[in-house]
């Protein structure tokens, strides 16, 4: 396979950061050279363990996700009957929880746990980044920070979905969807914390803000809290659960949030650049891929004599 | 005011039902002979406005109400003969009772002090009033002739039996108990009842429209929140908490009446443009501070009657519009993206699959299938 310019840069940076030995470098370059040009053929032919093949999330991130989603759902479960108190379904829900006064206390307690999870997450990513910078292994493309490339990826992915492109763009560890979702959740959390605190401490907020904005801020927050909550709930139900549960290839569940691992076919399809880093960092994965290429006769003709290359449309990136 | 009459009638019927179920109460002495006619349950008429008005008096019930000792003609002063002429003036609550002396002062008892406060308030009106002032509440809109302790079927024997040992007269002791126990118990309306009471008029859209139109025509001042007073309270934090059944949250009177002299002040509600109103620009901070101890000038600017109507609050109106649009666009966009993604990937051969292995078993339309 002839790597794209972008993929090549990522591979080179990864090899440099991992201080690979000349033997390893030769091994990696050799492996890349015997890959078929059509990346799609790779992920169509790998065997994936649904529980995950390749490391992706640390235990901290998994705990944070766990804390965030359990508190988020429980906050929605307690917040909705508080907001829609008069609705026919709200009364029994409040009664089950011990009455609206209890529901409110539970809601606030859960909010405190969710805020803890936010702080924990911030500490994790800041400290993790600091460590990577110190070790010289930091790579901005491997982070969740949105880059111009994400816009290109989005355009190219849309072209693939409508059939105007033969394969998906070469995306990084975090693709555009994940970046949108991450920042939507981060923004949503901030809104919920801000607006929730304005319900709890209206007098403090009023005294901090300039007089001409105090009332508008409170009005904005009053509207934001339920709207943001409902929007987040709908996004989770219609989009996030689709992406991690219902989408073909992820069905019935992506186990990453528990095991911290992603399946091989998923990594190759949606996070190709990260897969290249996996090849650099993980000798076993190199061996797996080499065995696969040979056993499935996927090695191009000009590399392995007498082995025909399969029909593919080539790399369109 | 029509609603108030119906409420009064319903209360009278309820009291009747209650009276039927309880043991005989202290007797009602009809010295004036009013019961000759008013003892008949069907003593009623339908007014020109189509309202059924009952003139039926239930002696058993009347004898356990707060006015039990007031002879009929102390209030119905215009009755000079029996049978009497059609009544053209109603009972006003500022008359002095000839028969009841104020035990503290020895003067004839009267509600005049409260009445005068009420007349000077924004609600003040004459008993018979025409035009828009007829929409204002009169005493009987809020006050009927209440039963002493509606929740108490009978005064407790263990108390009365003890009192009667010295006071000898059982009827006297029972009446005395009813009077004092009512005063000791909390008879103030609950927050929910106060909001309901005020909403009787302030949520009446036709009434509001009449007054808004009239104010525009005559260019007289009208509170900015008048058109949305009840509705916006329900949307507010206070309103919500009141609906939850919380008692320590502000109801209408907590802000619009002065708590230094609460029981008088609730009768002399003033518009917020009146500097003496507890919600006037001058007094607002102090009123907020009664509960929100850290409230300052900025806090007093927060709107306790939030409304999303464009005329009331342009900012809030457009925030809601924009939030609604964002919600629709985001959800439609993301669902659309999911559809597109599924279609695009399925075209290339992906399938929903439970088992371990690959998800790319379907035949690709791009001529590159999994090698089986």
Q: Over the stretch B73-128, which tens digit does the pLDDT of each residue have?
A: 999 999 988 899 888 888 889 988 888 888 889 889 999 999 999 999 999 999 88
Per-residue pLDDT tens digits for B152-205? 878 899 999 999 999 999 988 988 898 888 888 777 889 999 999 999 999 999
Mean pLDDT, rounded, of chain A: 93
Q: Could you report the predicted ipTM of this complex, rounded to two decimals?
A: 0.89
Per-residue pLDDT tens digits for A193-242? 999 999 999 999 999 999 999 999 999 999 999 999 999 999 999 999 99
CA A189 to chain centre: 17
In this prediction, residues B35-51 reach a mean pLDDT of 91
pLDDT bin (cut points 50, 70, 90) of residue A314 is: very low
At B193 the pLDDT is 94
Residues 147-176 of A with CB under 8 A from B: 157-158, 160-163, 166
At B178 the pLDDT is 87
At A127 the pLDDT is 97
Closest CA of chain B from A179, distance in Å: 14
Per-residue pLDDT tens digits for A98-136? 999 999 999 999 999 999 999 999 999 999 999 999 999
Whole-number Cα distances in Å, A90 to A93, A224, B233:
5, 20, 21
Test B298 with A216 for CB contact under 8 angstroms.
no
Q: How far apart are CA A136 and CA A125, in angstroms?
A: 16
Test B357 with A47 for CB contact under 8 angstroms.
yes
Rounded to the nearest 10 degrees, the angle between the axes of helix A59-83 and helix A211-235 is: 110
At B365 the pLDDT is 85
Test A219 with B341 for CB contact under 8 angstroms.
no
Instruction: Retrieve residue A295's tokens.
Output: 């056993």
Whether B41 has a pLDDT exceeding 50, the answer reads yes
Instruction: Retrieve residue A274's tokens.
Output: 């990260």
Instruction: Retrieve residue B242's tokens.
Output: 């009141």
Nearest CA in chain A to B336: A239
At A225 the pLDDT is 97
Whether A37 has a pLDDT exceeding 80, the answer reads yes
| More reliable by pLDDT, B26 or A176 | A176
Beta bridge partners of B147: B65
Mutation target to probe the B interface, by most B beta carbons within 10 A, among A49, A53, A248, A298 is A248
Residue from the list B302, B341, B368 with its beta carbon closest to the beta carbon of A206: B302
Q: How far apart are CA A94 and CA B343, in angstroms?
A: 42
pLDDT bin (cut points 50, 70, 90) of residue A305 is: very low
Whether B24 has a pLDDT exceeding 70, the answer reads no
Instruction: Retrieve residue A112's tokens.
Output: 């405190």
Residue from the list B302, B348, B357 with its beta carbon closest to the beta carbon of A48: B357
Test B370 with A44 for CB contact under 8 angstroms.
yes
Cis peptide bond upstream of A252, omega within 30 = yes
In this prediction, residues A299-311 reach a mean pLDDT of 53
Percent of chain A with pLDDT over 90: 88
Whether A310 has a pLDDT exceeding 80, the answer reads no
pLDDT bin (cut points 50, 70, 90) of residue A301 is: low
Mutation target to probe the A interface, by most A beta carbons within 10 A, among B247, B295, B298 is B298
Length of chain B: 372
Measured in degrees and rounded to the nearest 5, phi and psi for residue A264 equal: -65, -45
Evaluate whether B321 touches B246 at the Cβ level (below 8 Å): no
Per-residue pLDDT tens digits for B206-243? 999 999 999 999 999 999 999 999 999 999 999 999 99
Cis peptide bond upstream of A222, omega within 30 = no
**Domain range summary for chain A, segments of one domain joined by +:** 1-56+260-309, 57-135, 148-257
Cis peptide bond upstream of A217, omega within 30 = no
Q: How far apart are CA A76 and CA A233, in angstroms?
A: 8
Under DSSP, the state recorded for A242 is I
Q: Characterize B239-263 residue by residue with b for buried, 16 or more Cβ atoms within 10 angstroms of its Cβ, and e for exposed.
A: bbbbbbeeeebbbbbbbbbbeeeee
């Amino acid at each position: 396979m002839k790597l794209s310019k972008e993929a090549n840069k990522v591979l080179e940076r990864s090899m440099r950061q991992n201080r690979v030995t000349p033997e390893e470098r030769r091994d990696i370059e050799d492996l890349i050279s015997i890959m078929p040009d059509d990346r799609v053929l790779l992920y169509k032919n790998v065997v994936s363990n649904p529980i995950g093949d390749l490391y992706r999330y640390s235990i901290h991130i998994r705990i944070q996700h766990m804390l965030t989603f359990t508190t988020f759902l429980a906050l929605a479960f307690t917040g909705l009957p508080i907001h829609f108190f008069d609705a026919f379904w709200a009364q029994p829900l409040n009664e089950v929880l011990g009455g609206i006064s209890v529901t409110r206390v539970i809601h606030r307690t859960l909010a405190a746990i969710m805020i803890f999870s936010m702080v924990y997450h911030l500490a994790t990513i800041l400290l993790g980044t600091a460590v990577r910078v110190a070790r010289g292994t930091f790579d901005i493309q491997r982070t969740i920070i949105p880059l111009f490339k994400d816009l290109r990826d989005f355009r190219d992915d849309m072209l693939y979905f409508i059939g105007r492109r033969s394969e998906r763009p070469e995306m990084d560890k975090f693709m555009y969807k994940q970046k949108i979702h991450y920042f939507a959740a981060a923004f949503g959390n901030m809104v919920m914390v801000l607006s929730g605190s304005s319900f709890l401490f209206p007098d403090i907020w009023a005294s901090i803000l300039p007089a001409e904005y105090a009332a508008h801020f409170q009005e904005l927050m009053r509207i934001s809290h339920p709207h943001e909550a409902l929007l987040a709930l709908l996004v989770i139900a219609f989009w996030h659960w689709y992406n991690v549960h219902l989408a073909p290839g992820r069905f019935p569940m992506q186990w990453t949030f528990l095991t911290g691992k992603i399946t091989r076919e998923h990594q190759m399809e949606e996070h190709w650049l990260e897969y290249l880093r996996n090849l650099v960092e993980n000798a076993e994965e190199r061996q797996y891929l080499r065995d696969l290429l040979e056993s499935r006769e996927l090695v191009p003709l000009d590399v392995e004599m007498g082995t025909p290359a399969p029909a593919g449309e080539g790399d369109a990136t | 005011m029509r609603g108030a009459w119906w409420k009064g009638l319903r209360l009278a019927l309820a009291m009747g039902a209650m009276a039927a179920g309880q043991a005989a109460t202290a007797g009602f002495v009809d010295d004036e002979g009013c019961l000759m006619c008013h003892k008949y349950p069907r003593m009623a008429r339908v007014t020109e406005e189509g309202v059924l008005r009952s003139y039926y008096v239930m002696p058993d019930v009347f004898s356990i109400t707060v006015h039990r000792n007031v002879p009929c003609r102390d209030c119905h002063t215009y009755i000079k003969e029996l049978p009497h002429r059609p009544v053209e003036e109603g009972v006003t609550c500022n008359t002095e009772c000839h028969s009841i002396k104020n035990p503290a002062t020895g003067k004839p008892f009267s509600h005049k002090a409260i009445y005068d406060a009420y007349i000077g308030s924004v609600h003040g009106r004459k008993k018979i009033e025409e035009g828009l002032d007829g929409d204002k509440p009169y005493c009987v809109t809020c006050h009927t002739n209440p039963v002493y302790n509606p929740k108490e079927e009978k005064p407790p024997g263990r108390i009365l039996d003890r009192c009667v040992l010295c006071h000898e007269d059982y009827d006297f002791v029972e009446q005395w108990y009813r009077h004092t126990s009512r005063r000791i118990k909390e008879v103030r309306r609950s927050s929910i009842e106060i909001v309901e009471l005020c909403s009787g008029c302030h949520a009446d859209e036709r009434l509001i429209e009449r007054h808004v139109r009239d104010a525009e025509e005559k260019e007289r001042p009208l509170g900015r929140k008048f058109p949305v007073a009840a509705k916006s309270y329900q949307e507010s934090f206070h309103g919500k908490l009141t609906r939850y059944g919380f008692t320590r949250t502000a109801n209408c009177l907590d802000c619009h009446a002065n708590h230094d002299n609460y029981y008088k002040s609730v009768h002399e509600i003033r518009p917020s443009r009146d500097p003496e109103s507890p919600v006037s620009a001058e007094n607002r901070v102090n009123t907020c501070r009664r509960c929100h101890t850290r409230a300052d000038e900025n806090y007093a600017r927060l709107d306790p009657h939030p409304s999303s109507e464009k005329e009331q609050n342009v900012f809030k109106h457009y925030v809601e519009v924009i939030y609604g649009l964002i919600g629709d666009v985001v959800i439609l966009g993301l669902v659309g993206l999911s559809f597109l993604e599924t279609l695009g990937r399925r075209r290339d051969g992906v399938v929903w699959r439970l088992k371990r292995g690959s998800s790319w078993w379907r035949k690709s339309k791009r001529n590159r299938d999994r090698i089986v």
